[in-house]
């Protein structure tokens, strides 16, 4: 069984809502996808989409194409985010310093760190002026 769906939205709050809905609806069709899996994907979308919405485009709101696919051959869900914003490779982001005392903690970098620790694959490509970020996660797996 294979699933594939793609959606182009504006890189803003409304677009995020549409992508949340798309991912939730597709995951409902994936056999063995638990609520816990679905919540992790919700987190992945929130972190990556919010990054693009906040940093990819200068002034005008740009576009983001999000696609979700599933193949029961490997039981993995793939999320691909494509934008035409400035070049940015989140896979190169340094992990946050988790040893700092509360007062000095900064929340920056946490989202990408959470993504990296949740997925099986986290791959960046820059092609034809686009940032293409691919996240792959096995369904029904404990990560921590």
Partner 1 sequence: MFNVRTRVSENAVSMDLEGVLDSKTAPELEEKITEIGDNVTEMHFDFADLEFLTSAGLRTILYARQLMDDKDGRMTLKNVNSDIMDIFKMTGFLDVLEIVD
Under the rule (CB under 8 A), what is the footprint of partner 1?
A: 13, 16-17, 35-36, 39-40, 42-43, 46-47, 50, 96, 98-99, 101-103, 105, 107, 110-111, 113-114, 117, 143-144
Least separation in angstroms between residue 66's CB and partner 1 is 15
Q: How far is the CB of 67 from partner 1 (least distance, A)?
A: 21
Q: 127 or 142: whose CB is closer to partner 1?
A: 142
Per-residue DSSP letter, 86: S
Residue 9: partners with Cβ closer than 8 Å, 6 or more residues away: 15, 16, 18, 19, 63, 64, 66
Q: Which is nearer to partner 1, 92 or 103 (CB)?
A: 103
Whether the Cβ atoms of residue 62 and residue 110 lie closer than 8 Å to each other: no
Q: How far is the CB of 98 from partner 1 (least distance, A)?
A: 3
Question: Which residue, 96 or 130, is less far from partner 1 as judged by CB?
Answer: 96
Nearer to partner 1, 1 or 102 (CB): 102
Q: How far apart are CA 81 and CA 52, in angstroms?
A: 9
CA torsion angle for 88, 39, 75, 67 (degrees, to 10)? Answer: -40
CB atoms within 10 A of CB 117: 11
Q: How far is the CB of 59 from partner 1 (least distance, A)?
A: 21
């Amino acid at each position: 069984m294979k699933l594939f769906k793609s959606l182009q939205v504006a890189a803003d709050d409304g677009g995020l809502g549409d992508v949340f809905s798309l991912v939730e609806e597709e995951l409902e069709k994936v056999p063995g996808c638990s609520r816990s899996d679905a919540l992790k994907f919700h987190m992945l979308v929130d972190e990556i989409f919010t990054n693009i919405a906040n940093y990819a485009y200068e002034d005008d709101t740009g576009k983001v194409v999000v696609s979700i696919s599933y193949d029961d051959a490997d039981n993995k869900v793939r999320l691909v985010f494509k934008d035409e914003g400035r070049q940015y490779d989140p896979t190169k982001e340094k992990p946050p310093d988790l040893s700092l005392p509360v007062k000095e903690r900064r929340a920056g970098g946490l989202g990408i760190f959470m993504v990296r620790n949740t997925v099986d694959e986290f791959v960046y490509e820059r092609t034809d002026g686009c940032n293409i970020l691919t996240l792959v996660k096995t369904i029904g797996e404990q990560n921590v």
